[in-house]
Structure 1
Amino acid sequence: MARQRTEDTAGGAAAVFGPSAVTEYLEQVVEQLRDQRGGAPSDSIPALAEADPERFGIVIATADGHVYAAGDADEEFSLQSISKAFTYALALEDLGAEAVHEKIDVEPSGDAFNEISLQPGTGRPANPMINAGAITSTWLVPDSERDLRRDRIRAAYSRCAGRDLAISPEVLAQEHDAGDRNRALGYLLASAGIIEGDPIRALEDYFAQCSVLVTCRDLALMGATLANDGTNPVTGEEVFAPGTVSRVLSVMSSCGMYDDAGEWMVRVGLPAKSGVGGGIIAVLPGQLAVATFSPALDRHGNSVRGVLACERLSQDLQLHFSRTARASRSTVRASYPIDQSPSMVRRNAEADAVLAEHGTDAVVVELQGDLLFTGAETAIRTVREVALDAEYVVVDMRRVDEIADYVLPLLARTRAELREAGRTLVVVDGGRVSRSVLEGEPPLEVFPSRAAAVKWVEDALLERHGGPGCTPSRVVPPDSELLSRLDPEDARAVQARTVERSWRAGANILRSGQNFAGIHLVVSGDVSMSVRTPTGERIELQILGPGMSFGEMALGSDGKQHVTLTAVTDVTARVLTPEALAELEEQDPVLALRLWKAIARDGYERADQQWRDAAVHASATDW
């Protein structure tokens, strides 16, 4: 049997980085609500009355099978009325919606769960979530050729939970002894023709389904199966058809929380079902399920702490159906190492060799769509998994549409967890992260562009793994990328014809449309190369550092600059002016020809590398 992907299993991200920020959030909720001691355990049978009211657990299971648990997540308790939703689903699978509807309506009753009443006229139970409807659902499930009804019901629950669940003999015996009111309902249903024949066996099987033992973790996976359109997200087994799940969740929305269902939908806004054993299951279709366990009940028969916990999660994580994310693509758009799509910085051969060797030590994770809870959970999980093998993780949030308030603190906490394990997380936000998060503890490293973030990571890798020649702060012209293509004597001769010029950080060095203004050999500082789109948006193409050159491309494009060059830091360069180049061609045409060959070779190699980088980036991100 497949094993659920959970935060507390050995190995994986949890073993390296500790609990996820999601798990830590749930642990905080458990601790903050433990002092809520209203209500009392059910006294309907001794096994419930004797339950420890201090027990409290919360579990979230996502629709793709990841589990986050806090508190008493593995304490067993009896399923009780939560079983009603799953037996109803099994009856729908066996007989179809029309046949089941002939016996059980789907209207809220407004009565207590064990009210002895049937609808006037039809004689049907109001819905399958009250006892009369649940007993009818149990009766509707037929025996199979190999298994009795009771075993088929338990097997369906087990397939939803992903493990074999057992019936408690102790609870079953007590349910049998205390079952006179339910027997009265059974005979009432028989007298109305809803149950055909003797209801005793159906009643005993109903007692058995209520006596199935589960943990909060089991319950969350059962809910996640409903959230995943009836397919268990861990085992991959389809337990119920999507149409069945749709009907079950609809009935849970209006009838699942007994006579408190209306208030529940206003305050929590999730299809849910509770049981007097202290469990609650709540489902956000397509995304997740929440399960809680705490035995003390309110006057409606719902867990006091469980209701408070669900309200808290719905509010904090914006799980209410009226606030959930609109349908969109997967939150994680792409994930790829930076050597597949490097920065726009032109580097020397020594640096290129180091980055080629260590490029997989840094990974970019691109996000998109709405970053609410399920999107944030997926993003954080992906970051933690990527960081198992990478020293640096760049989270690109520029394509994210909506960011919930709680997401950035979760991301900051994840960054702290990674930092403690020797990893570094940085964020590309496009200017959307608030100052409060930037200045929080621990703060996030935030960059306005992917190019700036990847450059920062590359510089860090070079500092860690490379020598001083990888990131020189100053490069004399003969050692520059362009002039090093000449022999040393020729390089010195060209340098002798250059003049030194300097620019302060932020100054424009060359503008698009400007006439050829000479070949600039960067001695120190960084230069940004950019263009403007037809709509006026500035797009950064490349960062040039010491040893790089610019300006010469205008020689091959009608003598005009087609890009803008701006000083990122204070910049010093040696410039071969147009006049000096013309003089060189006139006075030493052989050297001029060799310089032109070096310029052409440099240009072709740059273009070839840019095409390769563009192709790799497109293949890495084209989802």
Structure 2
Amino acid sequence: MKDLLDAIVENNRHWTQYGNVATYIPELSKGNAHALGVYVYDVDGNEYSSGDYDVKFTIQSVSKIVSFMCALMDNNFEKLCTKISVAPTHDGFNSIVNLETKNSHKPLNPMINSGAIATISMVKGDTPEDKFNRILDFMKKITNNPNININHDVYHSEKNTGDRNRALAYFMKSTRIIGDDVEWILDVYFKLCSMEVTCKDIAYIGALLANDGVLPFNGERVTTKDICKIVKAVMTTCGMYDGSGEFAVSVGVPAKSGVGGGIVAVVPKKMGIGVVGPALDKKGNSIGGIQILKDLSNRLDLSIF
């Protein structure tokens, strides 16, 4: 596996020159566009890595998986669906158009910005600190990394430039999708997106889902198989934004991307895969990371379809 990963990373490094780091969050523009790495963690506890796998990056929208799991543990699926749908979208991850024109003003799914903001409002906690710590503590537990915390420079950069997310949140407040104070829900959202991780951390998230809610490193069940099934299904249809359909065809596994350059992929019953490549395509997905996952899926026949 190590030799295979080394070959795949080197064969796909050239893709990074065709993407661009995110700039709409100014601090993300400092990312290394040429970084590319992968980490594989299987359900038997075996670990493999290659390339720039130890590069730190902010988790961004990959955090939506963790928020979604917490919301599902705190509410049943039917209750969550009164506020958020699980339908794919062909629009961008920060689009506002569907909130106004479709689906009784509900966000289309938890994997886009509006849906993630609404998801946080359904996580248990009487204060923003309670909600943030609920999700952060779960994140630390499932990654076996007690040192995960936020990158304060990215957090402040996101908070200072997050007017599109404010527009989404205030619209949802006006339609009663969100009942909490908008600014403190947004503060939780910005902090969660700013958590600093490596490929290993997000591969561990993928492995938990691959193992149906049981942590491979100690055998502890931390969530239910049913919740993992829901999360994996939504990742498959919505996790790569408006590139989800193409990704399902070319790679064929549940995945979630973030504009920090990370992608977590889940091979059910087998492994979690974390990749990093801050150079993004036009849809906000790591351009080199997708190519790594394509090659790995083809070589190991990982597609679930």
Considering the TM-score relative to the shorter chain, is it more than 0.5? yes
SS of 1:156 mapped into structure 2: helix
Superposed CA deviations along residues 425-474 of structure 1, whole A, max 9, x for unmatched, are xxxxxxxxxxxxxxxxxxxxxxxxxxxxxxxxxxxxxxxxxxxxxxxxxx
Amino acid at match of 1:122: S
Aligned-residue identity in percent: 40
1:323-382 Cα shifts (integer Å, max 9, x gaps): xxxxxxxxxxxxxxxxxxxxxxxxxxxxxxxxxxxxxxxxxxxxxxxxxxxxxxxxxxxx
The number of residues matched between the two structures is: 300
Residue 123 in structure 1 maps to residue 105 in structure 2: yes
Matched residue, 2:135? 153
SS of 2:18's partner is coil
* In 2: Cα distance, 1:228 partner to 1:144 partner: 32
Q: Tell me which residue corresponds to 1:34.
A: 13
Structure 1 pair 240–31 and aligned structure 2 pair: CA distance change class (3 A): same
Give the one of 151, 154, 158 matched to 1:168: 151
How large is the RMSD of aligned CA atoms in angstroms?
1.3
Q: 2:45 aligns with which of 61, 65, 79?
A: 65
Structure 1 segments unaligned to the other structure (5+ residues): 1-21, 323-623
Write 1 or 2 for the structure with the bigger share of strand: 1
In 2, distance between residues paired with 1:225 and 1:244?
11
- CA contact 2:84–2:109 (8 Å) conserved in 1: yes
**Partner of 1:591 in structure 2?**
none
Taking the aligned partners of 2:244 and 2:113, their CA distance within structure 1 comes to 15
- Written as runs of structure 1 = structure 2, the 5 A alignment for 1:371-450 is none
* Partner-residue secondary structure (3-state), 2:104: coil
Query: 1:56 is aligned with what amino acid?
Result: L
Q: 2:223 maps to what in 1? A: 240
Amino acid at match of 1:82: V
Unaligned segments of structure 2, at least 5 residues: none
How far the C-alpha of 1:23 sits from its partner, in A, is 0.7
Match of 1:319 among 288, 302, 305: 302
Amino acid at match of 1:59: Y
Cα deviation, 1:562-606, whole Å, max 9, x if unaligned, reads xxxxxxxxxxxxxxxxxxxxxxxxxxxxxxxxxxxxxxxxxxxxx
My pick for the range that moved more, 106-115 or 41-50, is 41-50
The aligned amino acid for 1:187 is: Y
**Helix, strand or coil for the counterpart of 2:96?**
coil
Q: Which residue of structure 2 lines up, in the alignment, with residue 46 of structure 1?
A: 26
- Matches of 1:182 and 1:172, distance apart in 2: 14
Q: What is the deviation of 1:47?
A: 2.3
Structure 2: which amino acid aligns with 1:271? P
Task: Tell whether the 8 Å contact from 1:162 to 1:235 is kept in structure 2 after alignment.
Answer: no
How far does the alpha carbon of each residue in 1:463-509 deviate from its partner, in whole angstroms, 9 at most, with x for none? xxxxxxxxxxxxxxxxxxxxxxxxxxxxxxxxxxxxxxxxxxxxxxx
Larger CA Rg, structure 1 vs 2: 1
Alpha-carbon separation, structure 2, partners of 1:80 and 1:237: 27
TM-aligned CA distance change 1:68 to 1:121, over 3 Å:
closer
Aligned to 1:253: 236
Which residue is equivalent to 2:3?
Answer: 24
Counterpart for residue 142 of structure 1 = 124
After superposition, residues 176-187 of structure 1 pair within 5 angstroms as 176-187=159-170
**Tell me, what secondary structure is at the counterpart of 2:242?**
helix
Equivalent in the alignment of 1:82: 62
Once the two structures are TM-superposed, the CA of residue 65 in structure 1 deviates from its matched residue by: 1.9
Scaled by the length of structure 1, the TM-score of the pair is: 0.47
Q: Distance in 2 between matches of 1:98 and 1:298?
A: 35
Q: Is the 8 A contact 1:73 1:216 kept in 2?
A: yes
Please say which of residues 29-38 and 257-266 is displaced more in the overlay. Answer: 29-38
| Residue matched to 2:273 | 290
What's the offset of the Cα at 1:144? 6.8
TM-score in terms of structure 2 length: 0.95
Distance 1:239 1:190 in 2: 32
Q: Which residue of 2 aligns with 1:352?
A: none
In the TM superposition, structure 1's runs of 4+ consecutive aligned residues that sit over 4 Å from their partners are none
- For residue 593 of structure 1, what is the aligned residue in structure 2? none
**In 2: Cα distance, 1:244 partner to 1:30 partner:** 33
- Aligned pairs for 1:212-611 (under 5 A) are 212-322=195-305
Q: Which structure has the higher relative contact order (CA within 8 Å, separation 6+)?
A: 2
- The answer for the alignment partner of 2:173 in structure 1 is 190
Amino acid at match of 1:84: K
Q: Which structure: greater helix fraction?
A: 2
Shift in Å, 1:174: 0.7
Is the contact between residue 39 and residue 274 of structure 2 (CA under 8 Å) also seen in structure 1? yes
Shift of 1:120: 2.8
Secondary structure at 2:105's aligned position in 1? coil
Matched residues in 2 for 1:121 and 1:309: separation? Answer: 36
